[in-house]
Structure 1
Amino acid sequence: MTPRKQTDGRVDGTPQHVQDTGGAITMPTIVTGQRLLAAVRDQTFIRGGEETCVEGAKYDLRMGNRLLKAGGGPIDVMKLTETQRSALFIDPGEVAFVLTEEVLNLPNTMAAMLSPKRKLSHEGILVLGGFFIDPLYRGNLLVGLYNFSTTRWPLRPRKKLIAAVFYVLEEGEIDTFPQPESISDFPDDVVRLMQNYQPIRLEGLRDAIRATQQEVTSLKNEVREQDDWKKEFREDLGNVLQGIRALKEEVKKLTDGLENEKSLRVSGDQDLHRDFVKIESRFGQLEQQKDHRRTVKIAIFAAVIGALVTVVVSAVLLGLRHWL
């Protein structure tokens, strides 16, 4: 399949910096040596730089005076006292942002590639950010610094951070490029991010890892003891089932006893009812006998009274006769 030609004459699949110009392959030209020194001296595409930062084919961009740490706003190091400056560090596990001392002013014929300084990684610092600078970029560079070591890293302006290699584009690569967004101070979204940012301390990570290791060890022990646990569980389950069977027997005995008690109580109630009827009948008879006896007593009492009255009357009459 024949590669499709693009409108700029570049063949699909060919790197953008390699052009096919009638069979002759050309590449962007790297700005080196005296041309870099001249750019620094003349303040052309590198402004605010120093000649000592030129190293062969690259220029070392340095940390500027503007810093941004967690929980606060931008810091201007020049406005701090020496004591305050000496207290500026990136703690282990923390991220900070800085602006470069240099300001780039790239024409539309130039681009730049960035690479972190190797010594930073030796010090436990990881550089965060983009590593390609588009043509027409004008401004400082925003650089993120992450401390992955176990020691504090001092924030010192003028320290070399990133090596920049500048390329002059070939005629076939030059185009009407859009104007990139320039940076002269920390963007608002980055400031808001850092105000709410809480660093993850390595001590906390170590504690979490240690706790996780302990949990894993505990789980391993539980797995090893699983057979013993199953055996104990089976024994306990057997004891529970045996207890349930014994409980069922006791419940059956209790149920049978309650049924017997119910039958006995029904029979006893019937006997008690019969006895009550007999007693009630006997009381009726006694009441009748009592009434009869009362009648006899009254008759006897009346007879006695009558006899006494007769005797008394007779005596009185006899006395009267004798007196007369």
Structure 2
Amino acid sequence: MSFWSSQTLKSHLPSLIEPFNAEQIQSASYELCLGEEIYISALPDTPLKERKKITLREKETVAIPPGQFAFLITSEIIKVPNNALAFISIKFKFKSNGLINVSGFHVDPGYSGKLIFAVYNAGPLNFHVARGERVFSIWYADLDKDDENPRNKIGYDSIPTDLMNSPDLVSSLPYLVKRLDDLEKKIENFSFKQAIIFSIVIAVLVTFVKPIIENVSRNFLGSF
């Protein structure tokens, strides 16, 4: 397997990437831009009507909150020949600020469509991305021959709803934090209620049982 050089990318990619821009070839890779759609996993207090894909205008930005997952789609349509394999990643300047790719790292031979990246904001701050920004990188490599089982399924042209159902509250770090906070409050409330009940029991014992015990003790001692 040999990776395509910048020269090879310049000669091959015009027919494999749409739209193609020669200026996006950098160090034997091609830089891909963020497309018009993004889906961010919902925060615990997000209304149901707002739990949907976000459509971005050109150069519009959106923030991925800390601890949240998101699906990002490329603006380019990608094709991979049957005799090649592609590798994908998020550019280092984004990874170094906490944005992690948690999806696959390669594109199958025969694939045709936009690419979807599942990402996670592992940083402490909101992570802003903009439509049209060069966020991803793709590398092409030759196979020794045409693959006999290339991908035949139609590629993505938008973020599908079945993917949107995956990274919801169950996988949201803020949601887990909220659950822990709620659990702590329940324990505190339970402890407070237990303390009140204990105080009431002691008060009842002091008020009603103590005189009985004292009376029994006096009668018992008076019998001697």
For Structure 1 versus Structure 2, the TM-score category normalised by the shorter chain is 0.5 to 0.7
Q: Equivalent residue for 2:137?
A: 163
Gaps of 5+ in 2: 43-50, 185-212
Contact 1:49 1:101 in 2 (8 A): no
Are 2:48 and 1:75 aligned? no
Change in 2 beyond 3 A, CA 1:68/1:136: same
Deviation at 1:137, TM superposition (A): 0.5
Q: Equivalent residue for 1:191?
A: 164
Distance in 1, matches of 2:75 and 2:159, equals 13
Distance in 1, matches of 2:67 and 2:151, equals 37
Larger radius of gyration: 1
Distance in 1, matches of 2:150 and 2:167, equals 32
Gaps of 5+ in 1: 1-27, 212-246, 258-324
Distance in 2, matches of 1:177 and 1:90, equals 34
Deviation at 1:202, TM superposition (A): 9.4
The number of aligned residues is: 186
Change in 2 beyond 3 A, CA 1:108/1:148: same
Deviation at 1:113, TM superposition (A): 1.5
Distance in 1, matches of 2:176 and 2:81, equals 47
Q: Equivalent residue for 1:238?
A: none
Corresponding letter in the other structure for 2:40: K
Matching residue within 25, 36, 40 for 1:54: 25
Change in 2 beyond 3 A, CA 1:50/1:199: same
Change in 2 beyond 3 A, CA 1:203/1:133: closer
Contact 1:93 1:202 in 2 (8 A): no
Contact 1:126 1:146 in 2 (8 A): yes
TM-score (norm 1): 0.49
User: Which is strand-richer, 1 or 2?
Assistant: 2
Q: Equivalent residue for 1:146?
A: 120
Q: Equivalent residue for 1:317?
A: none
Deviation at 1:148, TM superposition (A): 1.6
String of CA shifts for 1:37-85, please: whole Å, max 9, x gaps.
2234x3x122223222211221122211111123422222138xx8xx3
Corresponding letter in the other structure for 2:55: D
Q: Percent same amino acid at aligned positions?
A: 19
Q: Equivalent residue for 2:191?
A: none
Q: Equivalent residue for 2:201?
A: none
